[in-house]
Amino acid sequence: MRQVYTGADVFDGIVLHRGASVVVEGGVVRAVLPSGEAGLGEVVRLPGGILAPGFIDLQVNGGGGWQVDGTCDAARIAAMCEVHARLGATGILPTLITDTPQATATVIAAGIAAARAGVPGFLGLHLEGPHLDPRRKGAHDPALIRPMDDADLHRLLDAAAVLPALMVTVAPEAVTSEQIGRLSAAGVMVSLGHSDCDATTASHAVAAGACCATHLFNAMSQLGNREPGLVGAVLAGSLAAGLIADGLHVAPATMRVALVARTDRIFLVSDCMAVAGTDAPDMALGGRRILRSGGRLTLEDGTLAGADLTLDRAVGVLVHEVGIAPERAIAMATSVPAGVMGLQASRGHLIPGRTADMVHLDAGFALRAVWRGGVPVPAQALIMVSRSGSEPETY
């Protein structure tokens, strides 16, 4: 059925069209036209705001009461994709943080099964660790952090051959240039993070094939007057970089400086945990308790442990607190990560031929509705997490 979405401004991934309409048919965008030229079709009237591409989140540690861990299977990945679609992210990379080799193998197998099942919204996997620098461990378990060996490398190369996409966060101190080069040549997106490296070491990793940085400013060597660190290597170079824009992980003024220095390829990530989409006041991570309070997730010692963030709220922070134009802020959650993933031909834009994954944001950039392939996603639902340990229940 041909549908015409009208009543909102339309952000097509690049340009914000005032008073336009989006024509969708067969789950695909057919046209973006001035409202008076949309032609015949079922009219869907939106109460102002902005109609934009569905969000793409490349760092999702969990959601709906589930964490990406060594008990993960394809059904859990599907459930998390559904939770995050309700939160506006119509495409995600489920993310495993530092864990055992067996847990890594289990998550890879779950991702392969999810891909074969065609789970909606599943774009691939992000493995954040365990090949990191313990000096910049953040909330990662230092007992599980270790250098990459041949078995790790071949596990990743085999996974890259069958997964739709694979991002791997490593510290240059924990891998060799040869390992980075082999991963990159196999199509793995090598991202630098949880690293205390200097800028020269970072540049060598980029030359070997690294293409991204994980949660810019957090858990990495900082910009100094004589040593630029990994932050300086990102701001002065070509690496894409994720950014946790909750106003807690990175101060708004610092984000503003970064976005002036780099006008492209910085994208938003939620870095969310199992509590996303739930009412849970806390959660467990590798036997450690994570507390949830005031939009912040921390270990009991106060260390930030992921984020309690949705991408619509991150867009709002960029616009209202950092001072970024709405179209750039929304692009950082849509077309920019799509480009980083190489998915710009199918996702991240509302232009003819692209999948009709869409979000409707109100005037304050809060999420109001989601469509996946032109089909409405059920309204956001709070998930009550049972304290008895049974499966979460949505209502």
Catalytic residues: 271
Q: What phi and psi values does residue 277 have, to the nearest 5 degrees?
A: 80, 10
CB atoms within 10 A of CB 169: 28
Q: What phi and psi values does residue 199 have, to the nearest 5 degrees?
A: -65, -35
223 vs 25: CA distance, rounded Å = 49
253 vs 382: CA distance, rounded Å = 33
Are residues 392 and 278 in contact, defined by beta-carbon separation less than 8 angstroms? yes
Q: Residues 382, 388, 391, 395: is their CA dihedral positive or negative?
A: negative
Q: What phi and psi values does residue 330 have, to the nearest 5 degrees?
A: -70, -35
Are residues 95 and 66 in contact, defined by beta-carbon separation less than 8 angstroms? no
243 vs 57: CA distance, rounded Å = 11
349 vs 385: CA distance, rounded Å = 35
State how far the alpha carbon of 178 is from the alpha carbons of 25, 93, 187, 352, 367, in Å. Answer: 47, 25, 14, 41, 44
